Amino acid sequence: MKSLWKRGYEWIGERVQLDELIEFMGKKYVPVHRHSIWYYFGGVSLFLFIIQVVTGILLLMYYKSGEELAFESIQFIMSKVQFGWLIRSVHSWAANLFVLAAMIHMFSVFFERSYRKPREMTWVTGMFMFFLALGFGFSGYLLPWNELAYFATKVGTDIAGVVPGVGKTIMEFLRGGEEVTGATLSRFFGLHVAVLPGIFTVFLSIHLVLVQLQGMTHPMEHEGGPRYEVKKMPFFPNFVLRDLLLWLIVLNVIAILAVFFPWELGRKADPFAPAPAGIRPEWYFLFMFQTLKYIPAQVWFIDGEVLGIMLFGVGGLLWLLVPFWDQKSSRGEKNRLINYVGLGVVGYIIALSILGWTA
Amino acid sequence: MKRSSEKTNQPIAPIDEPKRDFLKLILSGGFVAWAASVVYPVLMYLKPPHQAEVVVSTVKAGKLSELEKDSGKIIKFGTKPVILIRTGTGEVRAFSATCTHLDCTVQYKKDLGLIWCACHNGRYDLNGRNVAGPPPRPLNEYKVVVQGDEIAVHKV
C-alpha cells in the first residue's frame, strides 16, 4: 500500500513540482498566542460552505422550482426520500451556522486589525463573500415557498425597491415582475444554485490563495518586538490536523441539531392570506428588520424606509472599506476608534436582535 | 507608415501620434460597441416582460350574512389582495390589503379594532388611514356596494 502511495506521488512529482509545494506548506507557521483560537473560524466557515455545496447538490436531485411544485417537492424530500429530512435539515442548519461562523471570523479579524496592510484584499474579498452569504441566505429562504419566506421576500425585495432612482428596476429584476410570484422563485433558484456559487468560488479562491501566500497575521502587540519570542506551530501538519478535528466536531454538532431540532417547513405560501402574526426574518437580518420597525414613516423630508436603507448601506460600505480609512493600524499604531466602532456595531446588532426576537 | 516615411525621408518612420490616437479611438470604440452589443441583449433578457393583466374593476365578495360584524377577510381582486371589513356597526368597507410600508398583506385585528400589518407593526384605522408604525401612506379604498345579501367591491 505504502509503495503504491509512493509510486503515485513520484509519478505526479515527475510532472509537477510537488516537493516545492510540500516545502512551502512546511515553511508556513501559525503564531501561537492567546488569541489563536480566532484563526480557526475561517476554516470552520470554509467547512460549512463545503457542507452547503454537498447537501445543496443532494437537494437538487429532488427539488422542483415553481409555485405549485416547490413546497410539495420539499415535503416529498422530507417525508418520502430516505434521509431526505436529514439532508434538508443539515442544509438549513449549516446555512445558519455558516453565517454565524463567518460573522465571528469577520469580527475577530476586525478587532485584531488583521485587515491592515498588506491584507486589504483579503478583507475585501472576505466581505464580498459575507454579502454573498447573506444573498445565499435570502434567496435560499424563498425556495421552500412557504408563508414566512413569501412575506420575507416581499419585504426584502420591496426594500430594494425604495432605493432612489434605480430601485424599481432592481426590484423588478429580482422579482421577475411586479409581484413576488413563481417567476421570483425561478430567479431566486437560479441565483441560489448557479450565480451566487459561481461568484462565491472566485472570491473564495482569491481569499485562500492570499491567506496561503501571506500567512497568518501576528497580533499587533507582537509587531516590532523580537519575533523569536513568538511561539508558533507548523501549518502542515499540526494546524491542519487541528482544523480537521474541529471540522469533525462541527459536523457532529450539525448532525445533533438536524436530528433533534429538524428544520420546519411551515405552511405553503398563499398570496391571499395576511402576513402571519409573529413573522420575522432569519436571525441575521433581525437587527435591520427591528430598526425598520422603529424608524417613523417620515423623518424630516425623507421616507423612513429610504433613510433606513441609506444608513445600512453607508454603514456597510464604511465597514467594507475599513482597511482604507484605518491608516493608523497599517502603520502599526494603536487606533482605539476601531475598538469603539466594533463594540458599537456588535452591541447594536445584539441589542436590536434581542429586541426583535422578544417582540 | 509608408507615407510618413516618404514624407520625412527617414529610414525609421516616426510615430504618427494623431494617426495612432485615431486607431486607438476606432479600436477602443469598436470594443465598447461590441461589449455593449453583448451586454444589451442580456440585460434586456433579464428585464421581465410586462404581461397583459386582466383588468378587473368589480368582484363579488360573498354574502353579507356570512361576514360577521367586527371582522375582516381577504378577497382576491384580480391578482391583488383586498381586505373587506365589517365594522362593529355593520358597515362594510374595502381597502387594498397591501401594506404601504413594505408590501406585506394586512389583516383585521379584532382586539384593537384596527387594520394591522404583522410584518412591521403598522396600523391603519377603519378608514384605511395610517395611524401608527412605519406605513407612510393610507391604504387605497375600494367602493363597496351591498345589494340585498350580495357584497360587490369596485375599484374607485
Tens digits of per-residue pLDDT, A150-190? 999 999 999 888 888 888 999 999 999 989 999 999 999 99
- Note the pTM of the prediction, 2 decimals: 0.87
Cell matching residue B25: 479611438
Distance between B139 CA and the closest CA of chain A, angstroms: 14
Nearest beta carbon to residue B74 from set A179, A273, A279: A273
Nearest beta carbon to residue A277 from set B74, B118, B135: B118
> pLDDT at position B74, please?
93
Q: Find chain B residues with C-beta within 8 A of A155's C-beta.
A: 102-104, 119-120
Of B24, B114, B20, B12, give the one whose Cα is nearest residue B72.
B114
> pLDDT at position B1, please?
45
Contact A271 B134 (CB under 8 A): no
Q: Find chain A residues with C-beta within 8 A of B83's C-beta.
A: 274
- Euclidean distance between CA atoms A222 and A127, whole angstroms: 26
Whether the CB-CB separation of A77 and A90 falls below 8 Å is answered with no
- Euclidean distance between CA atoms A29 and A232, whole angstroms: 6
Contact B134 A295 (CB under 8 A): yes
- Euclidean distance between CA atoms A157 and A183, whole angstroms: 13
Cell matching residue A138: 435570502
The pair phi, psi for residue A234, each rounded to 5°, is -65, 140
DSSP A359: -
Q: What is the CA radius of gyration of chain A?
A: 23
Whether the CB-CB separation of B136 and B149 falls below 8 Å is answered with no
**Residue whose entry in the numeric block shows the C-alpha cell 523569536:** A228
> pLDDT at position B10, please?
58
Contact B133 A293 (CB under 8 A): yes
User: Is residue A137 scored above 70 in pLDDT?
Assistant: yes
pLDDT band, residue A227 (cuts 50/70/90): low
Interchain CB contact of B135 with A (< 8 Å): yes
Q: What are the residue boundaries of the structural domains of chain A, listed by start?
A: 24-220+228-269
> pLDDT at position B5, please?
46
Whether the CB-CB separation of B151 and B144 falls below 8 Å is answered with yes
Q: Find chain A residues with C-beta within 8 A of B45's C-beta.
A: none
Q: pLDDT of chain B along its 156 residues, tens only?
A: 445 445 555 567 777 788 889 999 999 999 999 999 999 999 999 888 887 777 888 989 888 888 888 899 999 998 889 999 998 888 999 999 999 988 899 999 988 889 999 988 899 999 999 998 888 899 999 999 998 889 999 988
Element spanning B146, H or E:
strand B141-147
Q: What value does the mean pLDDT take over residues A293-318?
A: 86
The fold of the A24-220+228-269 domain, in CATH, is Cytochrome Bc1 Complex; Chain C (1.20.810)
Q: What value does the mean pLDDT take over residues A340-355?
A: 95
Nearest beta carbon to residue A304 from set B51, B119, B134: B134
Contact A275 B107 (CB under 8 A): yes
Q: CA triplet A326, A41, A243: central angle to 5 degrees?
A: 135
Q: What is the CA radius of gyration of chain B?
A: 32
> pLDDT at position A338, please?
94
Of all residues in chain A, the percent with pLDDT exceeding 90 is: 66
- Euclidean distance between CA atoms A347 and A342, whole angstroms: 8
Interchain CB contact of B76 with A (< 8 Å): yes
The pair phi, psi for residue B9, each rounded to 5°, is 60, 35
Element spanning A188, H or E:
helix A182-190
DSSP A146: B
> pLDDT at position A231, please?
83
Cell matching residue A27: 515553511
The pLDDT tens digits of the residues spanning A195-212 come to 999 999 999 999 999 998
- CA distances to A147, A306, B3, B102, B105 from A152, in Å: 9, 18, 69, 10, 11
Nearest beta carbon to residue A298 from set B75, B83, B136: B136
Q: What value does the mean pLDDT take over residues A4-16?
A: 90
- CA distances to A8, A315, B34 from A100, in Å: 40, 20, 44
Interchain CB contact of B118 with A (< 8 Å): yes
Neighbours of A117 (CB within 10 A): 13
pLDDT band, residue A266 (cuts 50/70/90): very high
Cell matching residue A48: 460549512
> pLDDT at position A59, please?
97
> pLDDT at position A224, please?
61
The pair phi, psi for residue A105, each rounded to 5°, is -55, -45
Closest residue in A to B121 (Cα) is: A293
The pLDDT tens digits of the residues spanning A66-100 come to 999 999 999 999 999 999 999 999 999 999 999 99
Closest residue in B to A308 (Cα) is: B134
Nearest beta carbon to residue A274 from set B48, B118, B130: B118
pLDDT band, residue A24 (cuts 50/70/90): confident
Interchain CB contact of B101 with A (< 8 Å): yes
Distance between A273 CA and the closest CA of chain B, angstroms: 7
